[in-house]
Structure 1
Amino acid sequence: MTALPDWMRPPRAEGWFAEDLDRLPEAPRRTELIDGALVFMMSPLRSWHGRLVTALTVALAEQAPAGVEVEREMTIRLDQRNRPEPDLLVTTAPYDPDRTWFDPADVQLVVEVVPPESAHRDRTVKLRKYAEAGIDHYWCIEDEGGTPVTHVYELDAPTRRYAPAGIFRGTVKRPVPFDISLDLGAFVPHRAEAD
């Protein structure tokens, strides 16, 4: 067995802390911190995922009011041992070219386009952690035979838990965190039928 590179060894017995991510230039591009452990997105992302994230980023940015930014593939520092990286987020934090993470207090919406390798984390672990951090809105977008299906959650502030706010196939219309109208089905081509 090959020895681990030095950068993969936790700097302390308690594991990794949120600030450690900024000191790991050797780590794969999509690396997040969950409960003090580094999580790497090692599988290649499908074209369906990339097209959907890109189109969704552009569409949300076009609909966002002044003072609201849409960012993709940036981490959120939930606490000292958790810094997940959603596919995109909507924030009220002003643009900062040197930013490497966002504070949950500045995040209005988190969107995960769910690939098979992170399905459990996206549907359960991140769902709980984003709610506990006080992020008001969370969307999980799944591939249902080529059609985007969006599971929308809203924060119940007193309990710090998400309540389901709907399941949307293709089209998503939401009044929060701002007026949003999307035809996600138009963002990705449908699979060609076999002859």
Structure 2
Amino acid sequence: MTAGTVAPAWMHEQVTAEQYGSWPEEQCAGIEIVDGMVVARPRASKRHNRRARILANALDAAAGPDWNADTDFDVRLQDVPLTNRRPDAVLYRADTIDVTPTRPEHVLLVAEVVSPGSETTDRIVKVDQYAKSGITFYWRIEQAATGVPLVYTHVLDPATRAYRDGDVFTGVIKVSAPFPVEIDLGQL
């Protein structure tokens, strides 16, 4: 929006799950809903989108037939007040591909690519929200000074509903959980 442009009313009023469900995908694509309020997401760079897509493709290839990985779709964290997040990459149960909305119990792993303007949200806010909703794995991709990304992995402690820090990877991600996967970070 430019100076002098007035935001539509739906950006200033609390939104219910029913209202949100009636909106066209084009209206939902650039936003998240947090505590019922619309939060505009900054437009992602081509590099950001490429990193998310390459990560999702690698997870999809390694996951086997029971899991799918994809980018940029809603995960419904709670209904009231409505909270929908759009992780940069999501690994979800293959048998829920046609289930809408995607809920935390369908999701095994979410990943966020940190960009200018998303640092606090990706490092603090979403970590807490994803953990409290019960998503087992959270990965955060950050740009290192060397140009090769750093990947921070987190694993849910079910007793506390908080993430424990996992490994930090540069160069190559090589993990055995949630399944064996190796990703050359130079591709990201």
Relative to the length of structure 1, the TM-score reads 0.84
Checking the alignment, whether the CA contact within 8 Å between 1:154 and 1:163 is kept in structure 2 is yes
1:120 corresponds in structure 2 to 120
Identical columns (%): 33
Q: Kindly tell me: are residues 147 and 101 of structure 1, through their superposed partners in 2, closer, same or farther at Cα, counting changes over 3 Å?
A: farther
Alignment match, 1:111: 111
CA drift of 1:94 comes to 2.0
Alpha-carbon shift at residue 177 of structure 1 (Å): 1.2
RMSD of aligned Cα (Å): 1.9
**Structure 2 residue 175 is matched with structure 1 residue 174:** yes
Deviations 1:75-117 (A, max 9, x none): 11111221111001101142545x5531101100001011111
Q: Alpha carbons of 1:124 and 1:20: their partners in 2 closer, same or farther (altered >3 Å)?
A: farther
Mapped contact 1:152–1:165 kept (Cα < 8 A)? yes
1:37 matched to which residue of 2? Answer: 37
Cα separation, 2, equivalents of 1:34 and 1:167: 29
Describe how 1:48-59 pairs up with structure 2 within 5 A.
48-59=47-58
Alignment of 1:46-195 (within 5 A): 46-80=45-79, 81-94=82-95, 96=97, 99-145=99-145, 146-185=147-186, 187-188=187-188
TM-score by length of 2: 0.87
Higher helix share: 2
In structure 2, what residue type is equivalent to 1:176? A
8 Å Cα contact 1:74/1:101 also seen in 2: no
Separation of aligned partners in 2, 1:182 and 1:38 = 34
Runs of 4+ more than 4 Å apart: none
- 1:96 and 1:163, CA in 2 relative to 1: closer, same or farther beyond 3 A? closer
Kept in 2: contact 1:152–1:164 (CA 8 A): yes
